[in-house]
Homo-oligomer: A and B are copies of this chain.
Amino acid sequence: MDTVKRAAGKSTRNTYECHPGCSVEAALSLIDGKWKGVILYLLMERQVLRFNEFQKALPDITQRVLTAQLRSLETDGLIERTVYPVVPPKVEYRLTELGASLAPVISALSAWGNEKKFLWPKGFKRDSHLQQAG
């Protein structure tokens, strides 16, 4: 293979003092942030995305933040980043096995979010400017 993969490094998450329900906190800490849940959701739906496909799907995220979120997910071992050494650059993101194992969590979130749509905050319009690649 001519691709370059980085293994998951040290987690950004540490210094936990454990308490009842800390498993909830541990799991939640991996998908917090404004975009991580959505990034995982997209990867679960579409298997593999490139950097600019994320940007198209998430028109309101900046490059810097997208990069940071992807790095964080990669560091935590939830997604895998594959760099194809071609020009122009080509980078693909996909779920790791661990990331894929979060599917029940993400789908529970999605299901709940959809079910309770009626009580979303005012500005929340359902899937307007939804951008699909292709």
Q: Which one, B20, B22, B121, B124, contacts A124 given CB within 8 A?
A: B22
CA distance A104 to B27 in the complex (A): 14
CA distance A122 to B26 in the complex (A): 12
Asked whether A92 is an interface residue with its Cβ less than 8 Å from the other chain, the reply is no
Asked whether A134 is an interface residue with its Cβ less than 8 Å from the other chain, the reply is no
Segment 2-49 of A: residues with Cβ below 8 Å from B? 11, 13-29, 31-35, 37-38, 40-42, 45
**A42 pairs with B16, CB closer than 8 A:** no
Asked whether A89 is an interface residue with its Cβ less than 8 Å from the other chain, the reply is no
A129 smallest CB distance to B (angstroms): 7
- Please judge, given known A-B contacts A37-B28, A112-B104, whether A20 and B131 are in contact too, CB under 8 Å: yes
CA distance A68 to B32 in the complex (A): 18
Asked whether A86 is an interface residue with its Cβ less than 8 Å from the other chain, the reply is no
A66 smallest CB distance to B (angstroms): 12
A residues touching B (Cβ–Cβ < 8 Å)?
11, 13-29, 31-35, 37-38, 40-42, 45, 57-60, 77, 98, 101-102, 104-106, 108-117, 119-132
